[in-house]
Amino acid sequence: MSWETVIGLEIHVRLKTEHKLFCSDRAVFGSEPNTSICPVCMGLPGALPVLNPEAVNLALQTALAFGCTIHFESVWARKSYFYPDLPKGYQITQFEHPLATKGTLMFSGSEGDMSVSIRRVHMEEDAGKLLHDRVPRASAIDLNRAGTALVEIVTEPDLRMPADVRLFLGELKQTLEYVGASDCNMEEGDLRVDANISVRRSGSLRLGNKTEIKNVNSFSGVERALSLEISRQIATLDSGDTVGQQTLLWDDHREELREMRLKEESHDYRYFPEPDLSPLKVTEEQVVAAIESLPELPRERCSRFKDIYELKDYDAEVLTQSAASADYFEELVGIEIDPKVAAKWVTGPLQALMNERREDARTVPVRPAKIGALIGLIERGIVSESAAKSVLVILAQEGGNPSDIIEEQGLIQERDIGQLTSWVTEVLAKHSEEVARYRGGESRILGYLVGQVMNDSGGAADPRLARDLLIKQMSNE
Ligand code: ADP
Ligand code: MG
């Protein structure tokens, strides 16, 4: 008999708001420890929390992006536990009455279009951080993160395969970035995933005992940790034992799971309504405004790109990976660049440039108008495509205009037959072996020879003319 895996996720997302959730300290990453703290987030007696409205808006937009039902009144709750990074001794979160419930997220998974139900989206504050590498033989505490604003997104146990978990998380991250709810910077801990997993006999409807995997800091880590845990649970059940409910910690370096603690039950946390905050009320106008400010979401944008610009699936997916590159592409189309040409430039040379400079389509210094002008010059035969790629690099480094750069760098495409003929003759003389192979019927060699002419001319030769001349000379001699 075979086993079926059941997976549900709890995802914590840091909201992109300047201040913490209940005080006016700045929510910053990477600054000196304990420089962005105050009596409220340190939990000093008598300090009172005041809600940050911007965080509520971002949480609303997040929930609406999943089509959740918004509750006009939700309740803050205290979740009590002791840990050194939690100075108050409790976390302010939402428990019985969350901000939003019952949504879905569609994604492309192993079985094509798949969907996962979102059980709830609630708001809560983050804890501080223990630093194990700052002080010899001791741990230090940095409370800069304490009190920063999070949403927790809880899914139904709808996922079945670790690979789909990764694909689902990719879609979720992309959606949050589109909405502008979070930067989703994994290295900075903007998005943290806890994965709950159980196995059961295929066909059974009852859920098996689950374990919860924490401390995974990449999507591929989640996938690997889950695969390992599936094998362990199946081996346990096959040997006649039962799976114990527990929390496991993923060790990414050792690729192993460690027992952390027996799973606590919610009554262990002694949840009760937060006495220092009135219930969170959102108005209908607030919800309508949040709906109206939602951007077109990744999947819609991707299918629109395929439909109206007639792009290949792959190009549409790459372009809509981030809202910034999709915007960049559409700006190019807006200045009359052919969509297929625009797609080729954004996914090719521009992407390479952005990777190299560690920039995205919003920050890259070469803006669409400049690339548009450059593409225009290629189309008019003034510059070759390969030379244009070096113009792009210069544009990024030094700014300026494509046509000036082409002139200054001597990159104007050579279409003079005399000059081209001499490059072609030289290349043919240097590559007699390839010429023989071409004549022997290996026509693919032609591309290589065109490349040699382009090289010798420093990118200046018009490749189409060079190709024609090569063919002509090789069939003459
Ligand atoms: P707990 O009370 O233990 O935190 P919840 O019912 O709140 O459990 O569910 C937490 C997460 O675990 C949700 O994402 C849910 O989909 C998932 N989950 C619940 N039961 C199971 C199970 N048996 N197997 C896999 N995932 C589960
Ligand atoms: Mg839970």
CATH number at residue 464: 1.10.10.410
Same domain, 192 and 284: yes
Alpha carbon of 23 to ligand 2 centroid (Å): 26
Q: Which amino acid is at 143?
A: L
196 lines ligand 1 (CB under 6 A): yes
Which ranges of 363-444 does DSSP label H, i.e. alpha helix? Answer: 368-379, 385-398, 402-408, 417-430, 432-439
The β-bridge relationship of strands 246-251 and 76-80 is unpaired
Same domain, 83 and 148: yes
Judge if the beta carbon of residue 10 lies within 6 A of ligand 1.
Answer: yes
3-class DSSP assignment, residue 320: coil
Could you tell me if 404 and 449 lie in one domain?
no
Give the closest ligand to the alpha carbon of residue 210: 1
Q: Which of 230, 255, 290 is the last residue of a domain?
A: 290
Q: Report the nearest atom of ligand 1 relative to the CA of 196.
A: 26
Kindly give the distance from the C-alpha atom of residue 154 to the centroid of ligand 1, in angstroms, as a whole number. Answer: 9
8 Å CB contact between 405 and 388: no
- The protein residue whose alpha carbon is closest to atom 14 in ligand 1 is 8
Whole-number Cα distances in Å, 146 to 10, 62, 82, 176, 192: 20, 22, 14, 22, 16
User: Given the structure tokens 């209908």, which residue do they identify?
Assistant: 284
Q: Which two tokens stand for residue 391?
A: 């113009």
- Specify the pairing of strand 246-251 against strand 211-216: parallel
Residue whose CB lies within 8 A of the most ligand 1 atoms, among 119, 161, 168, 196, for a mutation test: 196
Provide the residue-wise pLDDT of the chain in tens; the chain has 477 residues: 699 999 999 999 999 999 999 999 999 888 999 999 999 999 899 999 999 999 999 999 999 999 999 999 999 999 999 999 999 999 999 999 999 999 999 999 999 999 999 999 999 999 999 999 889 999 999 999 999 999 999 999 999 999 999 999 999 999 999 999 999 998 899 999 999 999 999 999 999 999 999 999 899 999 999 999 999 999 999 999 999 999 999 999 999 999 987 767 777 899 999 999 999 999 999 999 999 999 999 999 999 999 999 999 999 999 999 999 999 999 999 999 999 999 999 999 999 999 999 999 999 999 999 999 999 999 988 998 888 999 999 999 999 999 999 989 888 887 788 889 999 999 999 999 999 999 999 999 999 999 999 888 877 888 888 999 999 999 875
Task: Give the helix ranges, DSSP H, for 134-218.
Answer: 162-179
91 and 232, same domain (yes or no): yes
Which uninterrupted H or E stretch holds 99?
Answer: none
**Residues 131 and 150 occupy one common structural domain:** yes
Between CA 443 and CA 431 the distance in angstroms is 15
Rounded distance from Cα 265 to ligand 2 centre (Å): 9
Q: What is the DSSP letter of 251?
A: E
Distance 89 CA to ligand 2 centre (A): 19
Same domain, 71 and 220: yes
156 Cα nearest atom in ligand 1: 16
Q: Please check whether residues 431 and 355 belong to one and the same domain.
A: no
The neighbouring-strand residues paired with 409 are none
213 lines ligand 1 (CB under 6 A): no
Determine the pLDDT at residue 386. 85
CA distances (Å), 347 to each of 171, 212, 320, 329, 342, in order? 19, 39, 10, 9, 9
User: Domain check: are 283 and 302 in the same one?
Assistant: no
Clarify whether residues 33 and 82 are in a common domain: yes
Let me know how long the chain is: 477
Say if residue 263 is in the same domain as residue 313: no
Domain that holds residue 392: 296-408
Indicate if 144 and 39 belong to the same structural domain: yes
Domain end point (choices 290, 322, 339): 290
**How far is Cα 51 from Cα 171, in angstroms, rounded to an integer?**
30
Specify the residue for token string 């808006």.
Answer: 57
Nearest CA to ligand 1 atom 3: 265
**Based on the structure, what is the number of domains in the chain?**
3
Helix axes 432-439, 463-476, angle to 10 degrees: 80
Instruction: Look at residue 119 in the predicted model and tell me its pLDDT.
Output: 98
Q: Give φ, ψ of 141 to 5 degrees.
A: -120, 130
Q: What is the pLDDT of residue 155?
A: 98
Same domain, 301 and 285: no
Q: Which residue among 386, 408, 430 closes a domain?
A: 408
